[in-house]
Amino acid sequence: MSPYLLLAIIAAYFLLLLALAQYVSRGANNESFFIGNRRSHWGLVAFGMVGTSLSGVTFVSVPGTVGSNGFGYLQVVIGNWIGFMAIALVLLPLYYRLKLTSIYDYLDQRFGATAHKTGAAFFIVSRTFGATARLYLVVAVLQFMVADHAGIPFAVSAGVILLMIWLYTHQGGVKTIVFTDTLQTAFMLGGLLVCVVYLADMLAGSVAAGVAQVMDSPMSRVWNTDPQAAGFWFKSIAGGAFIAIAMSGLDQEMMQKNISVPNIRDAQKNMFTFSAVLVVVNLLFLTLGGLLALFAAAKGMGATGDALFAAVVMEHFPAWVQVVFFVALISALFPSADGALTALTSSFCLDILGFRRRADLDTAAQERIRRRVHVGFAVLFLALVLGFRALNDRSIIDTLLVLAGYTYGPLLGLFCFGLWTRRALPAGLFTVLPCAIAPLVCYVLQRALAARPGGYQIGLELLILNGALTFALLWAVSRPATPAAPAAN
C-alpha cells in the first residue's frame, strides 16, 4: 500500500478530530478543560473510555498472545470487572460527595498538603513516563509503516503527531476528549469487527465456523491452575481487580472523565456500561487472536506475538481491509496520549500549582498558566519520545512501562489508608518516604524471587503487595487522629 495514501489517511483523520474539537470546544474555559463543566453525557463517556483503556499496545499485543497463552488474559478481564464495580460503588460516591475536580484533593482533605502533593506527584511521574513510552511505540509503528517510505525523519513524525494532539486538546480538554474518544473508539471497534469477520470468512467460510474452530482448539483454555505460575487464576483475578481500582479508580485521566458527568447516578451507569462493553471487546480481541494463530499456522507464517496481527493483514488482506485496519490502529493508538496530556496538565495545575487555593490568580491568569503547562507537557512528551528513539532499545521501553506500574502501589496504599483508618499522617518527609520505599522493596523482591530456579513468580499481585507495604509503612509513621482530623467516611 502506498505510503502517501497512508499519510493522506492520517492527515484526514486528524483534520476530522480537529473539526470535531473546534465544534465542541466553543466557549470552553478552565472548568471545561478540567471536568467538562460536569455536563458530559454518561453514554459518551462510557463508550469513549473503552478506547482509552485499550491502548494501541493492547490492540496488537492481546491478539498476539493467544497462540501461546490461550484465553488466559480473560482471567485478568474478570478481575478488571470486579475492580470497576468497586470503583462505581465505593470511589465514585466519595469523589462526588466531596465535589472533587482532582481526585488527589481527597488526600489533602484527609491528610493534608504533603499527602496531596505526594499522590499527585506519583501520578504525574507514572503517567508521563508510561504515556510517552507508549507514544514512542505508536510513533515507531507509524514510522515503520509510513514515514520511512516517504522519507520523513522520526523527529518530524513525532513532532507533527504531538502538535496535532495538542491542537485538538488545548482548548476544550476533557470537554473535547469525551467526543474525540467516542469517535476514535467507534473507528477502532469498527475495524476490529471488520477484521474478525473477514478473517473468519477466509479461514472457515463464516464467522460461526471460524469461532467454532477457535473454541475447539487448545487456545480456548482460560484457567491457569499452577499456583507457582505468574498467570495463576487467583493471582490474575485479584491482580486484575486491583489494577482496575488503582490504574482507573485512582488515576486522574480515567476519573477526570467520570466526574465530568453531572451526577453520581449517571457516573455509575457510565462505569457499569463501560465495564460490560470492555468484557465483550476483550472477548473479541481474544477471538481475533485465535483466528490469527490458526490462519498463520495454515499459511506457514513465521510472525508471532505483536507482529502477527499486522503481518496477516498486510500480507493476506485486500487493500480496503488494510485501510480499515490502519484507521482502527491509529484510533487505538491516540486516545491514551491525548487523555494523558490533558490529565497531566489538569493535575499539575490543580494539585501542584493549587489553582483552587490561589486567591491571587483570577480566571484569566489561571487560563494563561494552564495553556503554558499544556504546552510544557507536550514539549516534554516530545523530548522523551526522541530520547527513547536515541536509546533504540525495546527492553528499556518495556522496563519503563513496568516501572510506571509500580507507582500506582503507593496511590493504592494512600487511598486505602485514608478510607480504612482514622489515623493521621505527619507532614513532610515521613509521609513521602513510605510511598517511595514500598515500590523499591517490591522491585528488589520480584527480581530476587525471579532469579531463583523454579522459584515463585510474582505476577499481577505485585500491585497488591506494593499497596499493602505502603499501607503498613504509613501505619508505622501515623498517629491516632485528633477529633479535629477529617474522617475518611
| CA–CA–CA angle 37, 189, 56 (5° rounding) | 80
Could you give the CA distance from residue 313 to residue 200 in angstroms, rounded to a whole number? 13
Q: Are 380 and 160 in contact (CB under 8 A)?
A: no
- CA–CA distance from 281 to each of 15, 77, 84, 284, 377 (Å)? 27, 10, 15, 5, 31
Percentage of the chain surpassing pLDDT 70?
Answer: 93
Contacts of 486 (CB under 8 A, 6+ apart): 109, 110
What is the tens place of the pLDDT at every residue in 226-250? Answer: 887 777 888 889 888 998 998 889 9
Contacts of 175 (CB under 8 A, 6+ apart): 24, 25, 28, 32, 33, 36, 37, 40, 260
Block residue for cell numbers 487523555: 339
Query: What residue spans define the domains of the chain?
Result: 3-394
Among 375, 365, 363, 378, CA closest to 29:
363
Q: Are 164 and 18 in contact (CB under 8 A)?
A: yes
pLDDT of residue 222: 87
Q: Are 118 and 431 in contact (CB under 8 A)?
A: yes
For residue 161, the one-letter residue type is: I
pLDDT category of residue 488 using cuts at 50, 70 and 90: very low
Could you give the CA distance from residue 386 to residue 398 in angstroms, rounded to a whole number? 16
**Reported CATH class of domain 3-394:** mainly alpha
Contacts of 305 (CB under 8 A, 6+ apart): 61, 64, 65
Among 233, 243, 236, CA closest to 409:
243
For residue 197, the one-letter residue type is: V
Region label for 324, one of left (φ > 0), alpha (ψ between -120 and 50) or beta (otherwise): alpha
Could you give the CA distance from residue 181 to residue 338 in angstroms, rounded to a whole number? 9
Bridge partners (DSSP) listed for residue 480: 423
Could you give the CA distance from residue 447 to residue 437 in angstroms, rounded to a whole number? 16
- CA–CA distance from 53 to each of 127, 278, 358 (Å)? 14, 8, 34
| CA–CA–CA angle 416, 421, 425 (5° rounding) | 85
What is the tens place of the pLDDT at every residue in 339-366? Answer: 889 999 999 999 999 888 888 888 889 9
pLDDT category of residue 57 using cuts at 50, 70 and 90: low
What is the tens place of the pLDDT at every residue in 360-386? Answer: 888 889 999 999 999 999 999 999 999
Look at residue 416 and tell me whether its pLDDT is greater than 80.
yes
Mean pLDDT of 264-278: 93
pLDDT category of residue 303 using cuts at 50, 70 and 90: low
Q: Where are the alpha helices (DSSP H) in 348-487?
A: 363-391, 394-406, 408-420, 429-451, 462-477
- From 50-64, 78-92, 322-336, the region with the lowest mean pLDDT: 50-64
pLDDT category of residue 454 using cuts at 50, 70 and 90: low
For residue 322, the one-letter residue type is: Q
Block residue for cell numbers 480473560: 74
Block residue for cell numbers 502533593: 117
pLDDT of residue 420: 93
Q: Are 60 and 309 in contact (CB under 8 A)?
A: yes
